Amino acid sequence: MPASLTQNNYKEQLLAGLGRLPPFSPTLNRVLASLGREDVSFSYLAELIEKDTVLAGNILKLVNSALYNRRAEISSIRYAVTLLGVNKLRNAVLSMSVARMWTAMKTPPGWSTKEFNMHSVAVAVLSDLMVQRVPVTYQEGAFAGGLLHDLGRLLIATSLPGEYTRIMKLYDESGKSLWECERDAIGIDHAEVSALALVSWNLPRPIRTAVRFHHAPDEDTTAVENGETRLSAAVAAANHYINHLGICVSPKNMEHDAPSPDAFLALMGDSAEPVNASFEQEFEAIKAFF
């Protein structure tokens, strides 16, 4: 069979794998639909969360955590929503709901769903904190872009388990980057697979673009205003920094890809230290759910 035809078949299998993902909950569907809206209300989000018992319990647990240092226990979802604010609440719902979906999936030997979730959430939290300090295109998509940047890795592992094993063996032996090994083995890398998945989920184009180019932000041609940084560059910097901290999908990320803090430090400048401190606090609070 010609190589190009084989590669097309791989892409078809990966896209078919989307249909095997656990379905979105009604709550997550509505939260995703609200990503591009600035006028979403506290009452609307509170009403959604109250219909999902597990999610409601986790939101209350989060708002009562040490991060928020409440003197009295909060037991009302509507009050919790006002304390968290729309953006933090939306981020928490996204991360908790998506992680719950991933955990339900059958994965091949050697894959750690916990490490995958922790890495994805860490990149999401840091990306969101970064765009609050520096001007970035479509900053409202930073958390979702960070959270979903490696979705393609999960789809490759679950849809093509034999090829995933081959990719990881090549990665271990060749010294090439992971995405180079993916292209060699199946003709497509996980960043492109992630972006294709987000097309099928109708996520906003800027988020899809940031995910698609999170390993090659210099190839992103998104128009920018004076002084702005492309969202793809912010997600890329966050991804490298999180891997540098050792919060990796695979320990091989540390051995092979030599993650560097340089892009994060260059982008953030004097804000690097306070952003890192905020990240440590927020991640410590939210990682208990994964």
Q: What is the pLDDT of residues 82-130, one digit of tens each?
A: 888 878 888 888 888 888 888 878 888 889 999 999 999 999 999 999 9
pLDDT at position 34 over 60: yes
Q: Report pLDDT for 255.
A: 56
- Pairwise CA distance, residues 115 & 98, whole Å: 14
Is there a domain that residue 57 lies in? no
pLDDT tens sequence across 139-173: 999 999 999 999 999 999 999 999 999 999 998 88
Based on the structure, what is the number of domains in the chain?
Answer: 1
Is there a domain that residue 282 lies in? yes
CATH of the domain at 148: 1.10.3210.10
Contacts of 12 (CB under 8 A, 6+ apart): none
From 172, 170, 175, select the one nearest 185 (Cα to Cα). Answer: 170
- Pairwise CA distance, residues 272 & 139, whole Å: 17
211 or 55: whose pLDDT is higher? 211
pLDDT tens sequence across 182-196: 999 999 999 999 999
Q: Report pLDDT for 1.
A: 44
Is there a domain that residue 170 lies in? yes
Is there a domain that residue 115 lies in? yes
Q: Report pLDDT for 256.
A: 59
**DSSP three-state, residue 223:** coil
- Pairwise CA distance, residues 229 & 259, whole Å: 20
Is there a domain that residue 204 lies in? yes
pLDDT tens sequence across 44-93: 888 888 888 888 898 898 888 877 777 788 899 888 888 888 788 888 88
Is there a domain that residue 16 lies in? no
Query: What is the chain's mean pLDDT, rounded?
Result: 87
Of 22-31, 66-75, 140-149, 233-242, least confident by mean pLDDT is: 22-31
Is there a domain that residue 30 lies in? no
